[in-house]
Amino acid sequence: MTRIVRASALVVVNLLLMVVFSFAGQEGRTVPPDSVVDFTLKDANKKEFRLAEHLGQIMILSFIPNTKNKTLGARWLENSRFCVQKLKSKFNGDIMALGLKEMTDFPMFLPRSFIRAKLRKEPFPYLIDWEGKVFAQFAVQSTPVLMVVDAGGKIVYRQELTADTDRFNALCTQIEALIEQQQRSEKKAASREEENE
């Protein structure tokens, strides 16, 4: 009888420990937001950009965090560049594309103008997060992330990606379809408003 009681107590203790450790693991984890969090950053030309001032159109945000895997970072940049150029050529002025670069590990002995000069060569504006605060707000850690934000500021698509080009191209096609869907729903909403007036 005591053996059964001991075994049952052991099972209960193990279950309790599992629950405690599962919650402890989640405590430090940041949950990505459903909608964009307003922020202000400077671009490669030192021009200030405030996100809230640009809401009202579909936005593609390409986050490039610090990564020790330089190949991953370079491939991601190349793929996101191609994807964004493709989308911009199709949707013209209907979307805004922004890159965000985290630079918390930038060597202090190098001038910041060095990184700004490199980012000015990109085909779409890059905002520089020197302190990593915006990346923390959006729960972007060590993996690059692509987000699509609708006109109301809701994050309708978020994907952490590897450097795999085929997978990236497939996701770019998904994003293209998503933007088309967003545009259709915006047009329907606008025509409904006109009918109600």
The predicted-structure confidence for 49-86, as pLDDT tens digits, reads as follows 999 998 888 888 989 887 666 666 677 777 777 887 78
How large is the average pLDDT for residues 4-18?
A: 33
Which range, 1-5, 38-42, 103-107, has the best average confidence (pLDDT)?
Answer: 38-42
How much is the pLDDT for 127? 94
Residue among 142, 49, 45, 122 nearest 81 (CA): 122
Tokens 């085909």 found at = 123
| β-bridge partners, 98 | 61
Tokens 């985290």 found at = 102
Of the pLDDT bands very low, low, confident and very high (cuts 50, 70, 90), residue 30 is low
How large is the average pLDDT for residues 129-137?
A: 93
- Contact by Cβ (8 Å): 127, 96: no
| β-bridge partners, 130 | none
Strand-strand pairing, 126-129 and 145-149: unpaired
Is the entire prediction scored with pTM above 0.85? no
